[in-house]
Structure 1
Amino acid sequence: MTAFDYWSITQGALATISLSLASIVLGVPLGLALALIRWARVPGLNGIVYSYVSIVRSCPTVTLTLLIFFALPQFGISLDPVPAAIVALTVSTSAFNCEIWRSALVEFPRDQYDAALSFAMPRATRMRRIVLPQVWRASLPGLVNEMTLQIKSTPAVAVIGIVEITRAALRVGSNTYEPLPPFIFALVLYGLIVFVLIRLQRMIEVRLRHGGIA
């Protein structure tokens, strides 16, 4: 492998990081919103969210990517590969994040919420100061686990022309006729990305234990 080959795979890693980060930034709060709808049992919306989560969780990311990229133009919505990939990854991770958030909400001691209600604390304040801090702590490990899975799901978007780590390594291997070195380098890059994410999780958990984050 030449220096250019290493750089090509590194560029794929930058694409992987960018797509993953965008979908995580969008998917985590979207998952929380969906979980809150289910937790509150909002009439009408609760059934829609349940169906959405069930369908998306059963759909492979690669199929979802193809569906968004090729089916949406039939309804007059045409997306370039990068936006389509972000939408597909966001839709996928939001469904799984919804269940992670919802699990924490189900375990949340409801009597604390009712106690705040008895003191006439506004709903937004109850959520911000009582519910979300505890739910955030309980959800963090599951959310980070889903983030690592999201990073490893990015090869699915290669079907619409996105060159991420795996696609870049495959191209280099095809050109050099030596597939092992580029895939080993790709594996190292995936490991580094996940390692950084896990280190961030541990740093946040330490700060949470010491009361550094509300």
Structure 2
Amino acid sequence: MTLAAFLTLITGALTTAALSFSGIAMGVPLGLVLALVRWLRVPLLSAVVAVYVSLVRATPIVTFALFIFFVLPSFGIELAPVPAAILTLTLNTAAFNCEIWRGALEIFPRDQIEAARAHGMTTPLLFRRIILPQLWRSSIGPLTSEMTILLKGTPAVAVIGVVEITRAASRIGAETYRPLPPFLTAAVIYTLLIVVIVAGQRLVERRIARLYGYAV
């Protein structure tokens, strides 16, 4: 594989990493907000979130990307390929993250909430000091799995013109008539990116353990 081809793959890998980590950085907290809306059963909003989550989870990422890129301009919202890709991945993973967070909230011990309120804790303090640390601890594994799924789903945004690592490998293979080297390199890069995500999981777990005295 030539140096030019390798640099093309690296550029595609950087695009993949940027898209994935942007989607994760926005999708995780957005999913938590959506989960809280459902958990608290906020009138009207809870039903809207439930419909949104059901629709997004049932829609392939490639279809969702096409919708955002080609349909939103009809409503006056026109996005370039990269912002459209980030929005697609963020909204997609937020729906799945919502269900992960909500599942953890539903099984959260009610007696802890009642005890905290009996001691005069405000709702924001209760959430920050009691609920959130335990939510992170119980949800970090499923959230990490969803992050890796999102990373592996980034090739779907190539349909709107984003050249991520799989698209780059495909182009190189078509030009050189030797698809094996670029796709092997792409597989190695994907593996390294997933290793980074898993390492991040361990870092968060250790941080929680130090802050709250939990065993990891």
TM norm. shorter chain > 0.5: yes
Which position in structure 1 is the counterpart of 2:186?
A: 186
Task: Provide the secondary structure at the position in 2 that maps to 1:121.
Answer: coil
Q: What is the distance in 1 between the residues matched to 2:165 and 2:182?
A: 10
Change over 3 Å in CA distance of 1:213–1:36 after alignment to 2: farther
Say whether the 8 Å CA contact 2:133–2:208 is kept in structure 1.
no
Which position in structure 1 is the counterpart of 2:28?
A: 28
Q: What is the distance in 2 between the residues matched to 1:120 and 1:203?
A: 33
Task: Provide the secondary structure at the position in 2 that maps to 1:173.
Answer: helix
After superposition, the C-alpha distances for 1:48-92 in whole angstroms (9 at most, x for unaligned) are: 111110000000000000000000011111110011001110110
The amino acid of 1:164's aligned partner reads E
Q: What is the distance in 1 between the residues matched to 2:91 and 2:168?
A: 25
Change over 3 Å in CA distance of 1:213–1:153 after alignment to 2: farther
1:120 Cα offset (Å): 2.0
The amino acid of 1:38's aligned partner reads R
Say whether the 8 Å CA contact 2:37–2:46 is kept in structure 1.
yes
Q: Which sections of structure 2, spanning at least 5 residues, go unmatched?
A: none
1:200 Cα offset (Å): 2.0
Q: What is the distance in 2 between the residues matched to 1:112 and 1:71?
A: 46
1:133 Cα offset (Å): 0.8
Q: Which deviates further from its counterpart, 41-50 or 26-35?
A: 41-50
1:213 Cα offset (Å): 8.3
Which position in structure 2 is the counterpart of 1:162?
A: 162
User: What count of residue pairs does the alignment treat as equivalent?
Assistant: 214
Q: What is the distance in 2 between the residues matched to 1:126 and 1:52?
A: 28
Q: RMSD over aligned Cα, in angstroms?
A: 1.3
Q: What is the distance in 2 between the residues matched to 1:53 and 1:80?
A: 25
Task: Provide the secondary structure at the position in 1 that maps to 2:27.
Answer: helix
How high is the TM-score relative to the length of structure 1? Answer: 0.96
Q: What is the distance in 2 between the residues matched to 1:199 and 1:118?
A: 39
Q: Which deviates further from its counterpart, 1-10 or 194-203?
A: 194-203
Which position in structure 2 is the counterpart of 1:150?
A: 150
1:210 Cα offset (Å): 4.1
1:130 Cα offset (Å): 0.6
Which position in structure 2 is the counterpart of 1:133?
A: 133
1:98 Cα offset (Å): 0.2
Which position in structure 2 is the counterpart of 1:124?
A: 124
Task: Provide the secondary structure at the position in 2 that maps to 1:201.
Answer: helix
Identity value in percent = 55
Q: Which deviates further from its counterpart, 201-210 or 58-67?
A: 201-210
Alignment of structure 1 residues 173-212 onto 2, 5 Å: 173-211=173-211
Task: Provide the secondary structure at the position in 2 that maps to 1:137.
Answer: helix
Change over 3 Å in CA distance of 1:116–1:58 after alignment to 2: same
How high is the TM-score relative to the length of structure 2? Answer: 0.96
Q: Which sections of structure 1, spanning at least 5 residues, go unmatched?
A: none
After superposition, the C-alpha distances for 1:8-52 in whole angstroms (9 at most, x for unaligned) are: 011100000001111111100100000001111111111111111
1:136 Cα offset (Å): 1.0
Change over 3 Å in CA distance of 1:183–1:6 after alignment to 2: same
